A and B are shown apart, each in its own frame.
Chain A
Amino acid sequence: MLSRSNDLNHALAMMLEAGRRMDHVWNDVEPPWPGMLRSAWRSLGAASWPRVNLYDTGSTLVLRADVPGLTHKDLSVTLDEHRVSITGARTVTAPAGHTVHHRERGNIHFSRSLSLPCKIDPEASTAAVQNGVLTLTLAKAPEAQQRQITVRVRGDA
């Protein structure tokens, strides 16, 4: 389990932002090669989309991912006891009668899998997408939840 100070968080955020901007470079620059090489080029940039944060609330793990423009119809979530997989796609088109001046939002087809830090109960877990944010609430398996043990004085009944 990771725990970082605010300063370290900030430094890491700057590195991630730099990475995000590099992703734009990967996505925006079209290589001159056709076919498989172009797909490989795009997949390099799309490898880390969407960005994911994972939180531990004690009884659940909460996963949040930014998926702008996607609805529940565009997303598929697969759970097993130690792993979560998210797949989805979106197609961006110009409004009818418009020409494209500037484009940073691309078509997206993604698949991400994450190993979870503890065993979960897929049956008791839920997924929701609202305002372009996917939230998975993953119920921890009973054996993965923290347990409080009463301390007794030796000799107490």
Chain B
Amino acid sequence: MGLDTIVQWTKSKLGFRDGGSELAVVPQAPMYPSGRTAQPALDVFESRAEVTLVLDAPGATPRNTRITWDGVDTLTVYVQRASPAPGEVVWWEQEACDWFRQVALGTDLDGAKASSTVLDGVVTVVLPKRGRSATGKLIPVRAG
């Protein structure tokens, strides 16, 4: 099984659609899902010019985080954080798993101009609104 096959299988399992755009891609680090995922907690904020998403994803780094915009309205955040246990398990409250979250947003967002940062296990994605929404044209209403 070649590397491309594994990557394609990974993308299909994660629901990545062809034609979408990846916001933070590290080609040298293909993502291999651990098979178990958990949903990171999410905040969504909006201003006149953009929508900001903030996710708690401890273990996230620029290298193991992949953020994808499907080209329409859906953002996918995947963090491959599962790591082997350093020793025998003594006490255990959280299973080793990856972070995965898919969010459907408005169609007035411009995913191609999105930006993202990862700091202290918190992923922040900023999606600017398209111009037509931010600076909408006022259509005068005239009397017939």
Contacts and interface: CB of A to CB of B under 8 A. Distances in A.
Interface of A: 1-4, 9-10, 12-13, 16-17, 20, 24, 48, 51-58, 60-62, 66-71, 92, 94-95, 97-105, 114, 117, 131-133
Contacts of B57: 68, 132
B88 A105 contact: no
Contacts of A102: 42-44
A100 B42 CA distance: 11
Given A69-B56, A132-B120, A9 B92 contact: yes
Given A53-B94, A57-B86, A114-B91, A105 B58 contact: no
A101 B90 contact: no
Interface of B: 36, 38, 41-48, 51-52, 54, 56-61, 85-95, 97, 118, 120-122
Given A68-B121, A132-B121, A100 B92 contact: no
Contacts of B44: 100-103
26 contacts: A2-B90, A13-B95, A13-B97, A16-B93, A52-B94, A54-B89, A55-B85, A56-B87, A58-B87, A60-B87, A61-B90, A67-B58, A68-B120, A68-B121, A98-B47, A98-B52, A99-B45, A100-B44, A101-B44, A101-B45, A102-B44, A104-B42, A104-B43, A131-B60, A131-B61, A131-B120
